[in-house]
């Protein structure tokens, strides 16, 4: 069993980006610029945006954040997005999800300029991904693909089972793993809450990518020997022995499943750090497009 180490790999990627930014500055060019819009005061979202700002500082990006009250109207939020769409010095930005219930998430995503949509959620970018055209890939699937490529995990001709069909992870993963390329060229089965006898599919899988959000759902008796496991799930679970009173658990029963796996991502320290690194790579792509 070998670990797919997202912490180590994300550091390598950030150092690569840092060197590129330094070379741009030596040429007299401005630094890439990433923005984040946060609506409300959700603790997890706040932490995520703070980490993105730290990442920007490390690689030499400019960063901007706009924190808006959770009572803001949808029209006011879209007006702010349009201002950022028209800011020539801002290469890309994200609107942190989830949004308050009175705001239509789809309307907000559609309001973002596709050329600045570094989250890769706009329908135009999603469509380009499906057509295997260059575009901004959703950061978590992008991170998984980068991880499989850099660790030389074979995917061609393999049977990949994806658990979950969200637009953020499951559905993009099913598209990317079946694309003509490396990684890719897998035969993909996408499973979800309505799948009957889900274990029947996971037992046959060469690669399992799970984004369910149910702690330790995937047990050792649900997978075969030599399986590759990518665990996207991350849930707080009560743990009296921890100083924080909780631990972070993935979708996979890691201690038991690792005995059968050839490769496996830990939680935390697997997919999460790669997601943040890929947002930087998408911003770099946006910057290079702007500076052609």
Instruction: Tell me, yes or no, if 117 is annotated catalytic.
Output: no
Q: Where are the alpha helices (DSSP H) in the chain?
A: 6-26, 43-59, 74-85, 105-111, 123-130, 139-150, 170-178, 198-202, 254-257, 271-290
30 annotated as a binding-site residue: no
Instruction: Tell me, yes or no, if 18 is annotated catalytic.
Output: no
Q: Which of 119, 206, 231, 251 is catalytic?
A: 119
Rounded distance between C-alpha atoms, residue 46 and residue 38, angstroms: 8
Q: Are 226 and 260 in contact (CB under 8 A)?
A: yes
Q: Which of 96, 116, 231, 253 is catalytic?
A: 96
Instruction: Tell me, yes or no, if 2 is annotated catalytic.
Output: no
Q: Which of 52, 116, 117, 251 is catalytic?
A: 52
166 annotated as a binding-site residue: yes
* Max CA separation in the chain (angstroms): 59
Radius of gyration from C-alpha coordinates of the chain: 19
165 annotated as a binding-site residue: yes
Q: Is the dihedral of CA 212, 273, 271, 262 positive or negative?
A: negative
Side by side, which strands form the sheet with 159-163?
2-3, 261-264, 227-231, 207-210, 159-163, 187-191
234 annotated as a binding-site residue: yes
Q: Are 147 and 183 in contact (CB under 8 A)?
A: no
Rounded distance between C-alpha atoms, residue 192 and residue 212, angstroms: 8
Nearest 5°: the CA angle 216, 220, 223 is: 110
Q: Which residues are annotated as a binding site?
A: 164-166, 234
Active site residues: 52, 96, 119
Q: Which residues are annotated as a binding site for NADP(+)?
A: 164-166, 234
């Amino acid at each position: 069993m070998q670990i797919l180490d997202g912490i180590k790999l994300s550091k390598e990627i950030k150092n690569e980006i840092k060197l590129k930014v330094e070379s741009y500055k030596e040429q007299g060019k401005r630094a890439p610029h990433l923005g984040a819009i946060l609506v409300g005061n959700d603790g997890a979202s706040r932490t995520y945006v703070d980490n993105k700002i730290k990442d920007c500082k490390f690689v030499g990006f400019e960063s901007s954040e706009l924190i808006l009250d959770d009572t803001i109207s949808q029209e006011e939020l879209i007006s702010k997005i349009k201002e950022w769409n028209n800011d020539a010095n801002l290469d890309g930005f994200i609107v942190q999800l989830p949004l308050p219930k009175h705001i239509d998430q789809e309307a907000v995503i559609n309001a973002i300029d596709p050329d600045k949509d570094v989250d890769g959620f706009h329908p135009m970018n999603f469509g380009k991904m499906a057509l295997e055209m260059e575009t901004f890939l959703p950061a978590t699937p992008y991170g998984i693909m980068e991880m499989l490529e850099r660790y030389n995990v074979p995917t061609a001709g393999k049977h990949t089972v994806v658990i979950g069909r969200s637009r953020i992870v499951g559905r993009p993963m099913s598209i990317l793993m079946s694309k003509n390329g490396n990684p890719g060229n897998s035969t993909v089965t996408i499973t979800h809450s309505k799948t009957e006898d889900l274990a029947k599919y996971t037992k046959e899988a060469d690669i399992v990518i799970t984004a369910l959000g149910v702690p330790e759902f995937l047990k050792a008796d649900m997978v075969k020997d030599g399986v590759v496991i990518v665990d996207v799930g991350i849930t707080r679970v009560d743990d009296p022995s921890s100083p924080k009173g909780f631990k972070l658990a993935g979708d996979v029963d890691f201690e038991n499943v690792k005995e059968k796996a050839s490769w496996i991502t830990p939680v935390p320290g697997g997919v999460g750090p790669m997601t943040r690194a890929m947002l930087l790579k998408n911003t770099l792509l946006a910057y290079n497009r702007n500076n052609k």
